[in-house]
Structure 1
Amino acid sequence: MTGSPAERLAAVRANIAKAAGLARRSPNDVTLIAVSKTHDAGAILPLIEAGQRVFGENRVQEAEAKWPELRTRFPDLRLHLIGQLQSNKAEEAVALFDSIHSVDRPSVVEALAKAMSKLGRRPECFIQINIGEERRKGGCAVAELPGLIEAARAAGLPLAGLMCIPPADVEPAPYFALLAKLGRQHDLPGLSMGMSGDYETAVMTGATHVRVGTALFGERH
Structure 2
Amino acid sequence: MGLSDIKDRIAKAEAEAGRAAGSVELIAVSKIQPLERVEAVLDEGHRVFGENRVQEAQGKWPAFKERYDGVSLHLLGPLQTNKARVAMELFDAIHSVDRPKLAHAIARLAQELGHCPELFLQVNTGEEEQKAGVMPADADAFIKECRDLDLSIRGLMCIPPVDETPSLHFSLLAKIAERNGITGLSMGMSGDFEQAIAFGATHVRVGSAIFGERVYD
- State if a TM-score over 0.5 links the two structures: yes
Contact 1:123–1:158 at 8 Å: present in 2 too? Answer: no
Q: Deviation at 1:147?
A: 1.6
**Who is 1:59 aligned against?**
53
Instruction: Could you list the structure 1 runs, at least 4 aligned residues long, displaced by more than 2 angstroms after superposition.
Output: none
Identical pairs, percent = 49
Change (3 A) 1:40 1:113: farther
Q: What are the Cα deviations for residues 29-54 of structure 1, in whole angstroms up to 9, with x where unaligned?
A: 10000000011321101101111110
Q: Pick one of 175, 180, 205 that aligns with 1:186.
A: 180
Matches within 5 A, 1:40-189: 40-189=34-183
Describe the superposition over 1:99-120 as per-residue Cα deviations: whole angstroms up to 9, x where unpaired: 0000010001011111212222
How far 1:212 sits from its partner (Å)? 0.3
Q: C-alpha root-mean-square deviation of aligned residues, in Å?
A: 1.0
Give the secondary-structure state (helix, strand or coil) at the position aligned to 2:31.
coil
CA distance, structure 1, for counterparts of residue 132 and residue 21 of structure 2:
29
Runs of 5+ consecutive residues of structure 2 not aligned to the other structure: none
CA contact (8 A) 1:36 1:56 kept: yes
SS at match of 1:28: coil
More displaced stretch, 113-122 vs 204-213: 113-122
Instruction: Map Cα deviations across residues 5-64 of structure 1 (whole Å, 9 max, x no partner).
Output: xxx111001111111111100231100000000113211011011111100000111101
TM-score between the two structures when normalised by the length of structure 2: 0.96
- Match of 2:22, SS state, is helix
Give the Cα–Cα distance (whole angstroms) in 2 for the partners of residues 220 and 42 of structure 1.
13
Letter in 2 for 1:30: V
Partner secondary structure for residue 102 of structure 1 = strand
Higher alpha-carbon deviation: 34-43 or 96-105: 34-43
Instruction: For residue 122 of structure 1, report the CA deviation from its aligned partner.
Output: 1.3
- Structure 1 unaligned blocks of 5 or more: 3-7
* Residue pair 1:40, 1:66 contacting (<8 A) in 2 also: no
Aligned to 1:209: 203
